């Protein structure tokens, strides 16, 4: 449960499903804002005033170094973690010159990234009286990575438990302990996170989004969305314009 004054994290860019899984995981202890583009991320800097930016090195509209220079002008002391994969050494050196706090492969284990995030934000979390959390159980991290790489349709606790070498009961216990929710609820929240981005950034109709993400139909999607977000999808889309 987030306390008042919880650290704020801005996640910029990245593969949509992976970004959604990361956001759902972080929201247990942090206030998280996500954007798909660098320009939207820069727009959000003033309102969200992040303590940490998690920046994908491949952005659709700006070079990551360009974004970082603009970030430093607005928030010179903001912590920055870069997610990268296969970039040239010269590009990574340029990012390091802009005072980043770490560069992680996108495919790295989530528990490694979470430990780094918690170390960077330890003082802010202490000020918010947050319980210390160093990382994530590796089995739970593997399950989350599995869900981020798949559509989540037909997901069962039994199936993902077998994939990580645990019994269903062991996984159910570990997953709830680490994330505060069941595997099924987590997968649902990842899908809702994706819906939020699609509503904000596309004109896709609800029945199309529902089919893409494995909902029975648009009314089913709307019921789930309202339960988690507190408003219907149409209202969320209007507020995002």
Phi then psi for residue 26, to 5 deg, are: -70, -25
Condensed to tens digits (0 to 9), the pLDDT of residues 34-80 reads: 999 999 999 988 888 899 999 998 888 988 999 999 999 988 999 99
Per-residue pLDDT at 216: 94
User: Does residue 81 fall inside a structural domain?
Assistant: yes
Q: Are 123 and 77 in contact (CB under 8 A)?
A: no
Per-residue pLDDT at 209: 96
Let me know whether 97 and 24 are in one domain: yes
For residue 82, give the CATH number of its domain. 3.40.50.2300
Phi then psi for residue 103, to 5 deg, are: -120, 120
| Span 118-144, average pLDDT | 72
Structural domain that includes position 185: 138-241
Let me know whether 88 and 18 are in one domain: yes
Last residue of a domain, one of 100, 127, 154: 127
Q: How far apart are CA 188 and CA 219, in angstroms?
A: 15
User: Does residue 39 fall inside a structural domain?
Assistant: yes
Range with lowest mean pLDDT among 58-67, 85-94, 181-190, 223-232: 85-94
Question: The whole model's pTM is what?
Answer: 0.86
Q: How far apart are CA 31 and CA 29, in angstroms?
A: 7
User: Does residue 223 fall inside a structural domain?
Assistant: yes
| Span 219-235, average pLDDT | 97
Question: What average pLDDT does the structure give for the chain?
Answer: 86
For residue 188, give the CATH number of its domain. 1.10.10.60
Q: Are 33 and 41 in contact (CB under 8 A)?
A: no
pLDDT band of 123, cuts 50, 70, 90 = low
Say whether pLDDT at 235 is over 90.
yes
Q: How far apart are CA 75 and CA 191, in angstroms?
A: 31
Last residue of a domain, one of 96, 127, 158: 127
Let me know whether 123 and 15 are in one domain: yes
Say whether pLDDT at 152 is over 60.
no
Let me know whether 69 and 167 are in one domain: no
- Residue 74 region by backbone torsions, left for phi larger than 0, else alpha for psi between -120 and 50, else beta: alpha
Q: Is 132 helix (H, G, I), strand (E, B) or coil?
A: coil
Last residue of a domain, one of 107, 127, 147: 127
- Beta-carbon contacts of 21 under 8 Å, excluding residues fewer than 6 positions away, are 144, 145, 147, 148, 190, 193
Say whether pLDDT at 89 is over 80.
no
What's the number of domains the chain is made of? 2
Say whether pLDDT at 176 is over 70.
yes
Q: How far apart are CA 187 and CA 195, in angstroms?
A: 13
């Amino acid at each position: 449960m987030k306390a008042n004054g919880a650290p704020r994290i801005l996640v910029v860019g990245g593969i949509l499903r992976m970004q959604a899984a990361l956001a759902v995981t972080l929201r247990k202890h942090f206030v998280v804002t996500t954007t798909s583009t660098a320009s939207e991320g820069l727009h959000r800097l003033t309102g969200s005033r992040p303590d940490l930016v998690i920046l994908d090195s491949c952005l659709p509209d700006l070079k990551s170094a360009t974004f970082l220079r603009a970030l430093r002008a607005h928030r010179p002391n903001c912590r920055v973690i870069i997610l990268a994969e296969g970039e040239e050494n010269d590009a990574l050196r340029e990012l390091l010159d802009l005072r980043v706090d770490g560069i992680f492969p996108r495919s790295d284990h989530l528990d490694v990234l979470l430990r780094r995030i918690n170390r960077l934000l330890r003082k802010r979390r202490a000020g918010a009286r947050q319980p210390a959390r160093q990382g994530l159980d590796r089995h739970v991290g593997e399950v989350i990575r599995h869900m981020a790489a798949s559509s989540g349709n037909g997901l069962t606790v039994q199936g993902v438990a077998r994939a990580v070498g645990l019994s269903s009961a062991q996984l159910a216990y570990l997953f709830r302990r680490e994330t505060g929710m069941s595997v099924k609820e987590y997968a649902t929240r990842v899908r809702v996170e994706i819906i939020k981005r699609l509503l904000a950034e596309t004109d896709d109709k609800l029945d199309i989004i529902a089919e893409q993400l494995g909902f029975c139909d648009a009314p089913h999607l709307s019921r789930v969305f309202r339960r988690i977000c507190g408003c219907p999808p149409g209202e969320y889309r209007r507020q995002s314009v």
